[in-house]
């Protein structure tokens, strides 16, 4: 059977683009969404027009019971999980001193806890199969830190830490774990920036353009075919951040 892949937060933006690319390649795609039911249904319908079938599953991945439901659905239907893409995420633009405990819990639970819980729930099946790939969509801000996005930066740095440690723990079971750290990609997440701010950002990017979701999905397609890359944080940012 083709590879089975769960993508969290696939109703919009980067996750949606990943779902489309992998489904068109013939993978069995389980596209998770939480609030954007209409967008998820639209994605499914769009692919059905090309006679491609995907599963869309509602789950709030910041909650353990929903994570279990999503993984259980996948295993009941396909009996295996080859690839997990922890993509669901939220950001917030706020002074650090204005961040509340509620903000902290929401961002950390949505971005970091979700990757922890999703990975915990899929790993037993991957260990059983002696094969698997986990990809965490982190961020350039996790690598270098983003002003006014401190909690977001913490959540993404946490994902990268998890990637490195888990890659070591799971390597002997032939499970690879990698992060992709995007720079600035055109999605709803960046609607907060004005035209002028975006122009300023472009000037800071050596390649002079803001990235597209397909720049990320192409790398994911490559990682799925690859066999020897693990524990890495792959930066895709037009040269914006070079460490």
Among candidate residues 106, 112, 127, 124, the one with its CA nearest the CA of residue 160? 112
Residue 136 to residue 231: CA distance in whole angstroms: 11
Which stretches of the chain bind ligand NAP, using CB under 6 A? Answer: 8-9, 11-15, 32-36, 60-62, 87-91, 110, 137, 139, 182, 184-185, 187-190
Least gap, CB of 147 to ligand NAP (angstroms): 15
Q: Which of 93, 152, 186, 228 is catalytic?
A: 152
Residue 209 to residue 9: CA distance in whole angstroms: 25
Least gap, CB of 41 to ligand NAP (angstroms): 11
Least gap, CB of 44 to ligand NAP (angstroms): 13
* Active-site annotation holds for 113: no
| Contacts of range 223-226, beta carbons closer than 8 Å, 24 or more positions apart | 223/133, 223/135, 223/176, 223/178, 223/180, 224/3, 224/5, 224/22, 224/27, 224/83, 224/133, 226/176
Least gap, CB of 87 to ligand NAP (angstroms): 5
Residues with a catalytic annotation lie at 152
């Amino acid at each position: 059977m083709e590879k089975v892949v769960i993508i969290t937060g696939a109703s919009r933006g980067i996750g949606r683009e990943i779902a489309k690319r992998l489904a068109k390649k013939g993978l069995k795609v389980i596209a998770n969404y939480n609030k954007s039911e209409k967008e998820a249904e639209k994605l499914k319908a769009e692919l059905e027009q090309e006679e491609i079938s995907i599963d869309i599953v509602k789950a709030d991945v910041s909650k353990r019971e929903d994570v279990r439901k999503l993984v259980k659905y996948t295993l009941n239907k396909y009996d295996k999980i080859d690839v997990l893409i922890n993509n669901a995420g939220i950001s917030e633009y706020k002074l650090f001193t204005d961040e509340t405990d509620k903000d902290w819990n929401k961002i950390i639970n949505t971005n970091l806890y979700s990757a922890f819980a999703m990975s915990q729930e899929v790993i037993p099946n991957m260990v059983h199969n002696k094969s698997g790939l986990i990809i965490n969509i982190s961020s350039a801000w996790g690598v270098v830190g983003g002003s006014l996005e401190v909690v977001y930066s913490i959540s993404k740095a946490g994902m990268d830490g998890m990637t490195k440690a888990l890659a070591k723990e799971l390597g002997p079971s032939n499970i690879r774990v990698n992060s992709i750290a995007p720079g600035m990609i055109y999605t709803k997440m960046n609607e907060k920036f004005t035209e002028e701010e975006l122009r300023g950002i472009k000037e800071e990017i050596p390649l002079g353009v803001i990235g597209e979701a397909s720049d990320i999905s192409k790398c994911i397609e490559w990682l799925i075919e690859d066999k020897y890359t693990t524990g890495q944080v792959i930066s895709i940012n037009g040269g914006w951040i070079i460490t």
